[in-house]
Amino acid sequence: MLRLGRREFGENEQVIMAIVNRTPDSFYDRGATFQDGPALDRVEQAVAEGAAIVDIGGVKAGPGEEVSAAEEVRRTVGFVAEVRRRHPDVVISVDTWRHEVGEAVCGAGADLLNDAWGGVDPKLAEVAARYGAGLVCTHAGGAQPRTRPHRVAYDDVVADVLRVTLELARRAVELGVERESILIDPGHDFGKNTRHSLEATRRLGELAETGWPVLVSLSNKDFVGETLDRPVKERLLGTLATTAISAWLGARVYRVHEVAETRQVLDMVSSIAGHRPPAVARRGVA
C-alpha cells in the first residue's frame, strides 16, 4: 500500500507525478510555469490528463543563478496553498532539499517532500515526520545540490543505490515517517553518467523487490538524450520507452512532463501485465 495525503494507491496502481516548475530557467520549459497563472493552468491540465500527484519545484536542479531558501519559499508556498484550495484530493509534492522550505510548504498543505539530493539536509526527514508528510529517498551519489557529475565511478551502481536509499528509508521510519508514505528513487542522472542510469533502469527490479515503492524521474533527461543523441525537445519517445521498461520492472510512481502520453504507456503495460482490462474489447467478439 502507498498512502500519500488523502490518497491510497493499490499494489498494481501506477501513479503519475506531474512536474510543475516555479523557476524561470528550467531545462525543459524555460520558465513557462514560473508565473502563477500558467502554473495553475498546468496543474489543471495535468490532473485532467490523469496525474494524481503534482510536484512543485522552486529551484532548477542544474547549475544556475543562486536561489536562497527565502526565495524558494516565496516561489512555492503561496502556490502550494492555492493548489491545495483548488484540488483538495490531489497529492501535492514539493521538490526541495532544504528543511526550511519543507517546513513552510508542509504548513501550506504539501503532502510529500521530494528530496532529490539524497538527504544532504538530514533535517528534511524530520520535517516530514513532524507534519505527517511522505518522503522520497533518492540516490544522488553524494553529489551536492545543483552540481553535475564529473568522472563519477561505482563498483556497482545499483548496489550503491540500494545501500543509500534503503538507509535513508530506514532512518525516515525511525524518525516517524509512515512506512506507507516513503518512496525510493534511483536518481537517474543525479551523480551518474549515462551508463549508470541505463544500468539502474535495466536492474530496476532489484529496487522493486525491496518492497519499497519505487519512483522514477526519467522525463527528457540527459541519459535519454545521450543514448539517442537527441536534444531536450526530441526525447519523448526515448522517455516513453524507458517508462515502459520501468513499469514492467515494477516502478510505481513516474515524475513526468508529458502526462497524457505517459498515462497511455502505463495503461498499456498494465493491461499486458493483466492488471487492467482493455478499455474496449469488441474485436472477435461480435
277 exposure class (CB count in 10 Å sphere: 0-12, 13-18, 19+) = exposed
Is residue 285 in a domain?
no
Q: CB neighbours of 1 closer than 8 A, spacing ≥ 6? A: 8, 9, 10, 11, 180
Q: Rounded CA gap, 69 and 85, in Å?
A: 24
pLDDT score recorded for residue 79: 97
CB 18 within 8 A of CB 54: yes
Is residue 98 in a domain?
yes
Is residue 144 in a domain?
yes
Residue appearing with cell numbers 516513453: 240
215 exposure class (CB count in 10 Å sphere: 0-12, 13-18, 19+) = buried
140: CATH: 3.20.20.20
Residue appearing with cell numbers 508528510: 133
Angle between helices 157-175 and 123-131 (to 10 degrees): 50
- The yes-or-no answer on residue 255 being catalytic is yes
pLDDT per residue over 148-198, tens digit each?
A: 999 999 999 999 999 999 999 999 999 999 999 999 999 999 999 999 999
Is residue 16 in a domain?
yes
- Which amino acid type is present at position 209? E
* Confidence check: pLDDT of 285 > 90: no
Domain count for the chain: 1
Is residue 153 in a domain?
yes
pLDDT per residue over 207-265, tens digit each?
A: 999 999 999 999 999 999 999 999 999 999 999 999 999 999 999 999 999 999 999 99
Strand 7-9 and strand 2-4: the pairing is: antiparallel
Q: Which domain holds residue 120?
A: 2-272
Is residue 280 in a domain?
no
Q: Which of 221, 230, 233, 276 is catalytic?
A: 221
* Confidence check: pLDDT of 132 > 80: yes
pLDDT per residue over 5-26, tens digit each?
A: 999 999 999 999 999 999 988 8
Is residue 77 in a domain?
yes
CA distances from 69 to 33, 72, 96 (A): 20, 5, 10
pLDDT average, residue stretch 49-59: 97
- The yes-or-no answer on residue 221 being catalytic is yes
Is residue 277 in a domain?
no
Q: Which of 255, 276, 282, 283 is catalytic?
A: 255
